[in-house]
Structure 1
């Protein structure tokens, strides 16, 4: 009986090793199912960029809740999870005062409540209204140039309210939509 247990253990171990190495797959998907998976993977990129943006804003808020304003310098670090390429986290107080703006640190400390986009859309006030709304979060579409560029592109930005102590902030990030 112990020889049978040994053989079963060896077979199970071998099977697990083959599954882990990718030599065999635990479920056998047909070609049509694989094609269906490929179609699902080709969904609009907008959806995955939205998920990424929301997850990064939520992670930034989590860090703020853990470390308070000590998190702010981390959001300014170039080539970090918070600021890379044309992605960055920005933070305002809900009175419009810009606290963190990695693409241009000289813009920090400015009141942005009157900020408008290329088409005069009042995005500063929209950001504040979203943060102070009952939901405390939402999306804004507007035209804005990429950092270091002058030609405006459609930008899709997520705003969410966050509180540290007695201070209420809006935390945001967005991405440019290829037209």
Structure 2
């Protein structure tokens, strides 16, 4: 193998590796921002209960394709900014395009306290599913338990 071919292979490896590490850095930054946003929303719900819902529907809680959503722990969606007509629906049976039971996973994650759920979901205006990761966290207000979440497409 010539030195030029070997050098080309090494260069391609470094370009691919740097692209991978850049993507990881972007994902980590997005995850950090989601956790911060969800933590703020949980504080608001735990302080104001249902009185927080109107604010969470507002534009200050919507960033690009990400928004805060809130369900009761029984699966009833109570805040859904992209389509408020979807509020009041039982989301327990929600599945992604591969049949993954994301409704149940969201609830299980909240019952544990907090965590991440990844799944395939179409971006707004698209039909082909993309990888989406969603951070879920439990919120308590008086005798009601909620799950608060927000996701981002990868």
TM over 0.5: yes
2:127 counterpart of 1:150: yes
Please provide the CA RMSD for this pair. 1.7
Q: Secondary structure at the match of 1:111?
A: coil
CA distance in 2, matches of 1:52, 1:69: 24
Q: Secondary structure at the match of 2:38?
A: helix
TM-score normalised over the length of structure 1 = 0.71
Give the drift of 1:132.
Answer: 1.1
Structure of greater relative contact order (alpha carbons < 8 Å, 6+ residues apart): 2
**CA deviation string 1:19-70 (max 9, x = no partner):** xxxxxxxxxxxxxxxxxxxxx9986200010000000000001111222211
1:123 matched to which residue of 2? 102
Q: Is the 8 A contact 1:103 1:147 kept in 2?
A: no
1:13-24 equivalences under 5 Å are none
**Count of residue correspondences:** 134
Select 1:51's aligned residue among 19, 26, 32.
Answer: 32
Select 1:67's aligned residue among 48, 56, 76.
Answer: 48
Q: Secondary structure at the match of 1:44?
A: helix
CA distance in 2, matches of 1:110, 1:121: 19
Q: Which has the larger radius of gyration?
A: 1
Select 1:112's aligned residue among 84, 91, 95.
Answer: 91
CA distance in 1, matches of 2:104, 2:86: 17
CA distance in 1, matches of 2:23, 2:148: 30
Any gaps of 5 or more consecutive residues in structure 2?
A: 1-20
Question: 1:120–1:57: structure 2 CA closer, same or farther, 3 Å change rule?
Answer: same
CA distance in 2, matches of 1:172, 1:162: 10
Give the drift of 1:115.
Answer: 0.3
Q: Secondary structure at the match of 2:148?
A: strand
Any gaps of 5 or more consecutive residues in structure 1?
A: 1-39
**CA deviation string 1:116-167 (max 9, x = no partner):** 001000000001111112xx11101101112333221100100110001100
CA distance in 1, matches of 2:153, 2:23: 19
